[in-house]
Amino acid sequence: MPKIDLAKVPVQKGAGRYPKQFCAPLDGREKQALGNAAGLTQFGVNLTRLKPGAISALRHWHEQEDELVYVLDGELMLIEDEGETLLRPGDAAGFIAGVANGHHLANRSQRDALFLVIGTRTSEDRVHYPDNDLAYEYDGTSFTFTDKSGEPYTE
């Protein structure tokens, strides 16, 4: 298997595709799509760095995609429907597709945290955001953010 040169993998900073009004809490997120760099087609792998005070994503759950996170460095608070759990290097958490357990990671420490996110690549998915008036739909070719009533966000 060819080695991935991390220096050549683009760093996506901030919220990515979220509509503007939801972006601020993700300003301290930096993500590198290692799965894309390797040409993987069946699952994705992202190396993610969170600055102090940043979150990994808005709290969410997927109808079709499994997710796993693995902490490499620093401390992260896993926030999910059942409460909060501190994660340290070597800790992992998994989220089964279709289980309505909104989750995300928050860096409440004073130093950067580094972790891997591994998830299936499904041809279609709907993502729910229990704390926000937001939903995400992917149909295999395009994605759409809507409010919970189904009205698309234009930005």
35-53 pLDDT tens trace: 999 999 999 999 999 999 9
The C-alpha angle with vertex 35 and arms to 115 and 86, in degrees rounded to 5, equals 15
List the single range of 64-73, 109-118, 136-145 with lowest mean pLDDT.
Answer: 136-145
Confidence band (pLDDT; 50, 70, 90) for 16? confident
Confidence of residue 1 (pLDDT cuts 50, 70, 90): low
Looking at every residue in the chain, the average pLDDT score rounds to: 94
Mind listing the pLDDT tens digit for each residue in 119-131?
999 989 999 999 9
Can you give the residue ranges of every domain in the chain?
A: 12-146
Q: How many CA atoms lie within 13 A of 93 on its CB side?
A: 18
* Distance between CA atoms of residues 134 and 9, nearest Å: 30
What is the CATH architecture of 12-146? Answer: Sandwich (2.60)
CA dihedral 56, 58, 61, 66 (to 10 degrees): -20
